[in-house]
Amino acid sequence: EGAGAGVRALAAHRVGDAVVRLELHAPTPGAAGLDPTMPVARVVQPEVLDSVDLEVAPGTWERLRTRLRLLRSAELLGAASSALDMAAAHARERRQFDRAIGANQAIKHRLAEDWMALDDARLAGVAAVAAHDAGAASAGRDSLFAPLLAVEAGRRAAQNAIQVHGALGVTWECDAHLYLKRVLRLAAALQAEVSRAELLERIWEGGDGRKAA
């Protein structure tokens, strides 16, 4: 799992607009985190084993952070989509009153809405990645929609997957909780960097701190 002795952690810090500092740390394994499939560790004493300053082109730091947000958003959507697929499969197989529970509007409409919300977030992510790779002027603003939509749609889809499974969904044997915990961990990481309110404000301002025309 990579959480044993000898593990090293690489931290990156922005020293200036054109300088990025890489620091090597020796973290110690911590307690189990929210996501049981992802071991966690922490730097108890921020002792730097080694460091190096790299000169980069102006704006590189923000591009790297944008790329990380898009990757986390994509991972969140993958986990949420798997939870949705699991819920849809259960809705087709679980029968009550001699018919599949997926035939009930309360369930099938919810699953359909979750699919549409995840698809919207996925399309926003694809557009953001394309704009980012092409260096388009709209790349900064486009990259704000993906984490916003991914967190909202992903969290709801994973939570609804638990509900569709009913009492089974709250048992340890049902893997739906693993998808939910992965989604919640990634959502927390995304929102810790940029909150929902800040994303909406930056979208309104045009993505670069200026009011949209």
Task: Return the residue matching tokens 């560790």.
Answer: 41
pLDDT for 45 equals 65
Burial of 39 (0-12, 13-18, 19+ CB in 10 A): middle
Cα gap 141→158, rounded to integer Å: 27
Q: What is the reported pLDDT for 88?
A: 95
pLDDT in tens, the chain (213 residues): 455 567 788 888 888 888 888 888 887 776 677 788 887 777 766 678 888 988 988 888 888 888 999 999 999 999 999 999 999 999 999 988 889 888 899 999 999 999 999 999 999 999 999 999 888 888 888 888 999 999 999 999 999 999 999 888 888 888 999 999 999 999 998 988 778 888 888 888 875 544 443
What pLDDT score was predicted for residue 4? Answer: 58
Give the pLDDT score at 121: 96
- For residue 211, what pLDDT is reported? 45
Distance CA 70, CA 74 (A): 6
Structural contact between residues 155 and 73, judged by C-beta atoms closer than 8 angstroms:
no
pLDDT in the model for residue 114: 96
- How far, CA to CA in Å, does 178 sit from each of 6, 30, 98, 102, 158? 28, 19, 30, 22, 9
pTM of the shown model: 0.84
CA dist 90 and 88 (Å) reads 5
